[in-house]
Amino acid sequence: MRQLNRRDFLRRAALGLGGSAAGWLLSACGLSVPSALPTPLAPTPKPDLPYLVVARGAAEPEELVKRALAALGGIERFVKPGNDVIIKPNISVGYYGYQYAATTNPWVVATLVRLCKGAGARRVRVMDFPFGGLAEEAYTRTDIKGQTLAAGGEMEVMSSMKFTKLELPKGRDLRSCTVYGDIMKADVVIDVPIAKQHSLAQLSCGMKNLMGIMIERQSMHFNIGQRTADLASGIPLKLTVVDAIRILRENGPTGGNLNDVQKIDTIIASADVVAADSYAATLLGLRPQDVSYIKAATAMGLGRSDLAGMKIEEIRI
Amino acid sequence: MAANKSNPFMTPKRWKAARKLVQYAALLGFIALFLASRRGGWATELVNAPLRLDPLGMLANLIASRALLTGSALALIILALTVVFGRAWCGWLCPLGTVLDIASPQRKIQPIFKEPARLRSVKYGLLFTTLVAAVFTNLTLLVFDPLTILLRTLTVAIWPAIDRIISAGESALYPVALLQDPIDAFDKLVRPALLPESPLYYRDAALFAAFFVGLIALNWIAPRFWCRYLCPLGGLLGLVSKISLVRRVVVASECTGCDACARMCPTGTIQFGKNGASDPSECTMCLECLRACPRGGETFKPVIALAKLQPYDPTRRQVLASIGAAAVGAGILNSEMAARRDDPYLVRPPGARENNLGSKCIRCGECMRACPTGALQPALFEAGLEGVWTPIVLPRLGYCDYSCNACGQVCPVQAIPPLNLDDKRVTPIGKAYIDTTRCIAWADHRDCIVCEEMCPLPEKAIKLDETQVRNADGEMVTVKLPMVNRDRCIGCGICQYKCPQSQMGIRVFTLGASPF
């Protein structure tokens, strides 16, 4: 009886293994969805709406985000009822609280979660892949988890099984990379970086923040400008909201010294990540063309960096 | 454990069932605490309790470190249990013993060879040598403690393998659209609660697995071969069992001399043809004999007497030989290279001191389990043979997370001091040095700056010097050259771990006799 049971077990195990092998074969045969659909990076803005909005002033982050989004045409312009939304803040390290400006302000994230939920989003997930420490711990220490859950969002720890290869047909140096698959499948992806000093890229902001969803980060540094722009060319971002409530001026991107943090109570919002990054560059005393990836992205036509030529609405509170 | 005849409820069958229940509960409890000792798991006082219950580990640590840890008093529970019930720990509680029971072949299999009874004295020899070596501040032999064996093997070999198997299954099935949601839900359930966020890697995992498999394979020579002949903790508890109160007694008027009990005894201590006589030092109180006896003749009752001496009991000669072996062994280990000069890559967990780690560490591997990045690895010979399987930081495999102080918190014997996070952040474990012949900026004249970017210190220990240098073609190029400020560097190793030049452009070296 015992022997038979074991045989049964083995038989079932073999069936199970066969099934998984079949799944693997199916996927290997290219039956999966082709990646990198030739969608434009940003939805076409309506002519009467500003291309980029800057909200600043001594108000709560929540107020600044709401005012900025309202001026940009409302969250409904980007999020439709029933949408699956992913918000990608910068949670690059789990070393400090948000006051150190190494990670995105938790209330900025939470406000976006609430706005998306209010617009009827089916599901709003917040995620990043820290380079220092565990995601679970970083989510907690930065308080992004606490505020996101309170706002009705979900925190997701990126799972290694979900990373998939992404072809970058528009890429000039980086032609493919491995990114978190859900980012490609979500209806809406919102990039919520914090503006930080970075010794190679000068500025860590929206496009640089996308490195958090890819595996091959170390290889980016050898041509950081072009490769960051190449990566951005393949990610279907609908909206970028730059958290400049606090900015990190030195010892970025990890931070740790409050003397390097400057509180400037500013939120930048645009459907164009290149434009958002370009404006953020000026907050750190840089010109957009000083930042190699902004320069590369502009040359590729991914977005605009001519701040003088675009319609910018500045809100002072 | 009363006489079965006088208790109509606890029949022999139920006694056996009760034992199995307790065994499985103890094993599951051990595994649960193992899982909960991950970073962000349960309270550390709770998760390392099994190791503090271990009288061998605690006694050897007490002798070698010359310091009494209050937490080690937990071991008195097991000693007290042994004084009352003999080696009940081995039969009822020891998680390794339970694993060996589960992995036993059917009893019907004929033993490959008839092992001599004298083999039982090996465990006493190992025990004495371990304890005498502890007098010489050496704890190397604790690698043979059953709890450290199981915990270490779970950490380094078994759990990572389970993680790989599950990951492979998930990845294989995930592309099937229909299965994505259930796999997603499953993945969220098991990670990070049971399995790591990202896969962890351990040096010599196969070696640890082979050791463990070998230990199980000995079961094919005799059931519980390890427990009968080799286990030093079994030896310690066996000696205490010489005075144990509750023992197996055969009711002479009932015994027909059928030897059914002797055939069933998993430790083989019931002698054939001697009317069920057995040695309390070898009896694990498993009660298989109770179940085997066709007449229910076995009883367990209180006895106040010293157990009969056995031919395999430790002799004076054996004790003296153990002392000699320990002294010579300690002498040899102390004349090894490692005792004179640190290996250049010997980087210890934060706060651990090279001059006393070896006399405190019980080789349990709890710190390696708690380390979230897999930086802590079992030493091979970096610290000499003496320091084998003590924890070292291998930045090639993981870095010391700036926001983590788990190893010191979870260490059951404070071989790694329980530093709070603020103190840990300023405790150097090594110093980073750039290899200018490998570094991408220094050697290849290309900007990289990964080490600088990764440096977690509030004022980075790695600074960039923008310099004009001549490249191989004689052209002048501007490069950001990284430099390490050794005063600030704490040796966490994230720079090395993330170095795109195959972790070779910057390396963390031992603190050793560092001038910093």
Per-residue model confidence as pLDDT tens digits over B175-198? 999 999 999 999 999 999 999 999
Interface membership of A3 toward B (CB under 8 Å): no
Which residues face A189 on adjacent strands?
Answer: A86
Q: Do B197 and A135 touch (CB under 8 A)?
A: yes
Contact predicate B452/B499, CB 8 Å: no
Give the residue from B467, B445, B455, B446 showing the smallest Cα distance to B506: B455
Q: Do A221 and B170 touch (CB under 8 A)?
A: no
Residue of A nearest to B495 (CA): A132
Query: How many Cα neighbours within 13 Å face the side chain of A90?
Result: 32
CB atoms within 10 A of CB B469: 13
Per-residue model confidence as pLDDT tens digits over B455-467? 999 999 999 999 9
Per-residue model confidence as pLDDT tens digits over B248-267? 999 888 899 999 999 889 99
Whether the predicted pLDDT of A159 surpasses 70? yes
Q: Do B175 and A26 touch (CB under 8 A)?
A: yes
Residues contacting residue A271 through CB under 8 Å, at least 6 positions apart: A42, A43, A45, A51, A72, A78, A238, A239, A240
Range A208-226 average pLDDT: 93
Of the pLDDT bands very low, low, confident and very high (cuts 50, 70, 90), residue A195 is very high
Q: Do B173 and A133 touch (CB under 8 A)?
A: no
Instruction: Share the mean pLDDT of chain B.
Output: 93
Whether the predicted pLDDT of A2 surpasses 90? no
Whether the predicted pLDDT of A11 surpasses 70? no
Query: How many Cα neighbours within 13 Å face the side chain of B223?
Result: 23
Of the pLDDT bands very low, low, confident and very high (cuts 50, 70, 90), residue B337 is confident
For helices B55-65 and B75-85, give the axis angle rounded to 10 degrees: 130
Please tell me the distance from the alpha carbon of residue B310 to that of residue B313, in angstroms, as a whole number: 5
Whether the predicted pLDDT of A300 surpasses 80? yes
Contacts of A135 in chain B (CB under 8 A): 197
Smallest Cβ–Cβ distance between B175 and the set A32, A94, A198 belongs to A32
CB atoms within 10 A of CB A203: 28
Contacts of B174 in chain A (CB under 8 A): 23, 161-162
Rg of chain A taking only CA atoms, in angstroms: 21
CA distance A169 to chain B (A): 23
Give the residue from B226, B234, B241 showing the smallest Cα distance to B81: B241
Residue of A nearest to B458 (CA): A256
Of the pLDDT bands very low, low, confident and very high (cuts 50, 70, 90), residue A17 is low
Smallest Cβ–Cβ distance between B172 and the set A24, A135, A160 belongs to A24
For helices B232-240 and B75-85, give the axis angle rounded to 10 degrees: 50
Q: Do A251 and B460 touch (CB under 8 A)?
A: yes
Please tell me the distance from the alpha carbon of residue B322 to that of residue B338, in angstroms, as a whole number: 24
pLDDT of residue B113: 67
pLDDT of residue B306: 87
Per-residue model confidence as pLDDT tens digits over B289-335? 999 999 888 888 888 888 888 989 988 998 999 999 999 999 999 89
CB atoms within 10 A of CB A48: 7
- For B400, the token pair is 């010391």
Give the residue from A90, A104, A95, A93 showing the smallest Cα distance to A131: A93
pLDDT of residue A38: 39
**Looking at residue B313, what DSSP letter applies?**
S
A9 or B40, greater pLDDT = B40
CB atoms within 10 A of CB A74: 14
Please tell me the distance from the alpha carbon of residue A81 to that of residue A119, in angstroms, as a whole number: 6
Range A221-228 average pLDDT: 94
Q: Report the phi/psi class of residue A34: left, alpha or beta, with left for phi > 0 and alpha for psi in -120 to 50.
A: beta
A168 or B308, greater pLDDT = A168
pLDDT of residue A24: 53
Interface membership of A178 toward B (CB under 8 Å): no
Contacts of A178 in chain B (CB under 8 A): none
pLDDT of residue B374: 96
- For B489, the token pair is 């560097």
Cis peptide before A253 (omega within 30 of 0): yes
Of the pLDDT bands very low, low, confident and very high (cuts 50, 70, 90), residue A36 is very low
Smallest Cβ–Cβ distance between B174 and the set A21, A161, A257 belongs to A161
pLDDT of residue A1: 40
> How far from chain centre, in Å, is Cα B324?
27
Please tell me the distance from the alpha carbon of residue A19 to that of residue A24, in angstroms, as a whole number: 9
In order of A81, B290, B419, the CA distances from A110 in angstroms are 19, 65, 34
Smallest Cβ–Cβ distance between B39 and the set A26, A134, A198 belongs to A134
pLDDT of residue A283: 97
**Looking at residue B457, what DSSP letter applies?**
S
pLDDT of residue B464: 97
Smallest Cβ–Cβ distance between A257 and the set B176, B459, B494 belongs to B459
> How far from chain centre, in Å, is Cα B25?
20
pLDDT of residue B165: 97
In order of A88, A205, A287, B249, the CA distances from A292 in angstroms are 22, 12, 11, 85
Q: How many CB pairs under 8 A join A and B?
A: 116
Please tell me the distance from the alpha carbon of residue B132 to that of residue B306, in angstroms, as a whole number: 25
Per-residue model confidence as pLDDT tens digits over A245-256? 999 999 999 999
Please tell me the distance from the alpha carbon of residue B499 to that of residue B487, in angstroms, as a whole number: 21
**Where are the domains positioned within chain A?**
1-32, 39-316
B355 or A267, greater pLDDT = A267
Give the residue from B205, B195, B201, B206 showing the smallest Cα distance to B497: B201
pLDDT of residue B300: 87
Whether the predicted pLDDT of B507 surpasses 70? yes
Q: Do B500 and A218 touch (CB under 8 A)?
A: yes
Which residues face B298 on adjacent strands?
Answer: B250
Whether the predicted pLDDT of B476 surpasses 90? yes
pLDDT of residue B130: 97
Contact predicate B162/B190, CB 8 Å: no
Please tell me the distance from the alpha carbon of residue A162 to that of residue A20, in angstroms, as a whole number: 16
Q: Do A160 and B494 touch (CB under 8 A)?
A: no
Contact predicate A101/A57, CB 8 Å: no
pLDDT of residue B3: 45
Contacts of A216 in chain B (CB under 8 A): none
| Residue of B107, B197, B498 to mutate for A, most A C-beta atoms under 10 A | B197
Give the Cα-Cα-Cα angle A85, A90, A93 (nearest 5 degrees): 135
Smallest Cβ–Cβ distance between B454 and the set A131, A136, A159 belongs to A131
End-to-end CA distance of chain A: 79
pLDDT of residue B1: 42
Instruction: Find the DSSP H helices in A235-288.
Output: 273-283
Contacts of B448 in chain A (CB under 8 A): 200, 221-222
Q: Are strands A239-248 and A194-198 parallel, antiparallel or unpaired?
A: parallel
CA distance A65 to chain B (A): 29
Q: Do A157 and B197 touch (CB under 8 A)?
A: yes
Please tell me the distance from the alpha carbon of residue B74 to that of residue B62, in angstroms, as a whole number: 13
For helices B205-217 and B95-102, give the axis angle rounded to 10 degrees: 70
Whether the predicted pLDDT of B109 surpasses 60? no
| Residue of A254, A257, A258, A259 to mutate for B, most B C-beta atoms under 10 A | A254
SS3 A76: helix
Which residues of chain B are in CATH 3.30.70.20 domains? 428-516
Residue of A nearest to B400 (CA): A133
Which residues face A210 on adjacent strands?
Answer: none
CA distance A120 to chain B (A): 21
Please tell me the distance from the alpha carbon of residue B230 to that of residue B125, in angstroms, as a whole number: 9
Please tell me the distance from the alpha carbon of residue B439 to that of residue B500, in angstroms, as a whole number: 9
In order of A20, A288, B25, B263, B478, the CA distances from A203 in angstroms are 44, 10, 55, 77, 19
Contacts of A133 in chain B (CB under 8 A): 372-373, 401-404
Those of residues 146-165 in A touching chain B at CB distance below 8 A are 156-157, 159-162
pLDDT of residue A14: 64
Q: What percent of chain B has pLDDT over 90?
A: 82
Per-residue model confidence as pLDDT tens digits over A105-158? 999 999 999 999 999 999 999 999 999 999 999 999 999 999 999 999 999 999
For helices B55-65 and B121-135, give the axis angle rounded to 10 degrees: 30
Instruction: Share the mean pLDDT of chain A.
Output: 90
Q: What percent of chain A has pLDDT over 90?
A: 83
Residues contacting residue B477 through CB under 8 Å, at least 6 positions apart: B445, B468, B469, B470, B471
Give the residue from B483, B495, B501 showing the smallest Cα distance to B438: B501
Contacts of A131 in chain B (CB under 8 A): 454, 498
Is domain B428-516 annotated with CATH 3.30.70.20? yes
B299 or B106, greater pLDDT = B299
- What's phi and psi for B508, nearest 5 deg? -95, 130
pLDDT of residue A32: 42
Whether the predicted pLDDT of A44 surpasses 60? no
Q: Do B446 and A222 touch (CB under 8 A)?
A: yes
Q: Do A221 and B500 touch (CB under 8 A)?
A: yes
pLDDT of residue B305: 85
CB atoms within 10 A of CB B355: 7
| Residue of A122, A131, A160, A219 to mutate for B, most B C-beta atoms under 10 A | A160
CA distance B452 to chain A (A): 8
Range B39-67 average pLDDT: 95
CA distance B192 to chain A (A): 8
Fold of the CATH domain A39-316: Rossmann fold (3.40.50)
Contact predicate A168/A230, CB 8 Å: yes
Smallest Cβ–Cβ distance between A251 and the set B175, B188, B458 belongs to B458
pLDDT of residue B512: 74
**Residues B325-333: contacts with CB within 8 Å, 24+ apart?**
B325/B129, B325/B132, B326/B128, B326/B129, B326/B132, B326/B133, B326/B135, B326/B136, B326/B138, B327/B132, B327/B136, B329/B129, B329/B133, B329/B138, B330/B133, B330/B136, B330/B137, B330/B138, B333/B138, B333/B140, B333/B384, B333/B385, B333/B386
> How far from chain centre, in Å, is Cα B227?
17
Of the pLDDT bands very low, low, confident and very high (cuts 50, 70, 90), residue B114 is confident
Please tell me the distance from the alpha carbon of residue A312 to that of residue A315, in angstroms, as a whole number: 10
CA distance A168 to chain B (A): 21
